[in-house]
A and B are shown apart, each in its own frame.
Chain A
Amino acid sequence: DTAVSQTPKYLVTQMGNDKSIKCEQNLGHDTMYWYKQDSKKFLKIMFSYNNKELIINETVPNRFSPKSPDKAHLNLHINSLELGDSAVYFCASSLTRGHSNEKLFFGSGTQLSVL
C-alpha cells in the first residue's frame, strides 16, 4: 500500500522517442508535483497540479506535458526525448496547495536514460 507510486522505475530509450511516466497517490492529497533531479543532484520542481488544475509550470520545455485525469494521478509525457532529459524524475504529493509549512510525500523515482 505505497502512498505515492510511480512507474516505471527505470526507463531506457532512444533520442527522439516519446515516453510517459505514471504517478498515483492514495493519500487523498489535493496537490501533486513532478520534480527533476538533475546531474548536479539538485531537486527542481517542474509542475504542480491542485485538483487537476495546473498551479506551477516552472519554465519546462513544451516537450514535457503533465496530465492529471483526477486528483490522485499525475502523469508526465515527454515528446522527442533528448540526451539532456536523462535524470531521475520524482513524483510527490501534499495535502493542500503546497503552503510553505507543508510536507511533501515522494515516490521512489524514475531513472530516465536517453541514449
Chain B
Amino acid sequence: DQQVKQNSPSLSVQEGRISILNCDYTNSMFDYFLWYKKYPAEGPTFLISISSIKDKNEDGRFTVFLNKSAKHLSLHIVPSQPGDSAVYFCAASAQGAQKLVFGQGTRLTINP
C-alpha cells in the first residue's frame, strides 16, 4: 500500500525548458510535503517543501504546487539546467507521525 506515488519513472527535457515532476498521495492526514534530489552514488538531499496550508511555494527556479482536493503535487523547474539531471523523490509526512513517506522517484534528464 504505497501512500505516495510518482507514476513517471523518467522524464527527459531540453535545457532551458520547463520540467514538471508529478506526485500523488492517498493519505489525507499528510500535512507537509517535500522534494528531495538524488545524484548517483549520493544520498537524497532536500530541495523544497510545502505545508498543506499553502498551495504554492517558490525558491528560485523551483516551485512546488499542491492541490489538496486532488491529492496531487508537482515540482516545476524553470529554466531546466544540465545540473538538474537527477532522481527526484516526493515525500510526505503527517503530524505526529515522525517519519517521511517517500515515492519511488522520477529520473529527470536534461538534454543540451
Contact = CB atoms under 8 A, between A and B. Distances in A.
A77 interface: no
Given A43-B102, A48-B99, A56-B98, A104 B46 contact: yes
B97 A100 contact: yes
Interface stretch (A11-19, A78-86, A91-99): A91-99
Nearest to A45: B99
B98 A48 contact: yes
A90 B49 CA distance: 21
Contacts of A44: 102
Contacts of A104: 36, 44, 46, 100
Contact of B104 (A33, A40, A56, A105): A40
A103 B93 CA distance: 11
Interface string B39-57: 0011111100101000000
Contacts of A105: 45-46
A56 B98 CA distance: 8
Contact of B44 (A9, A56, A98, A106): A106
17 contacts: A9-B41, A40-B104, A43-B89, A44-B102, A45-B101, A48-B98, A48-B99, A90-B44, A92-B43, A97-B98, A99-B98, A100-B97, A104-B46, A104-B100, A106-B36, A108-B41, A109-B43
Lowest 4 CB-CB distances: which A-B pairs, in order? A106-B43, A43-B102, A98-B98, A100-B93
A33 B14 CA distance: 37
Contact of B49 (A48, A99, A101): A101
Contacts, number: 67
Interface residues of B, number: 29
B103 A42 contact: yes
Interface in A59-96: 90, 92
Given A97-B98, A108-B42, A41 B49 contact: no
A103 to B, nearest CB: 4
Interface in B1-45: 2, 9, 31-32, 34, 36, 41-45
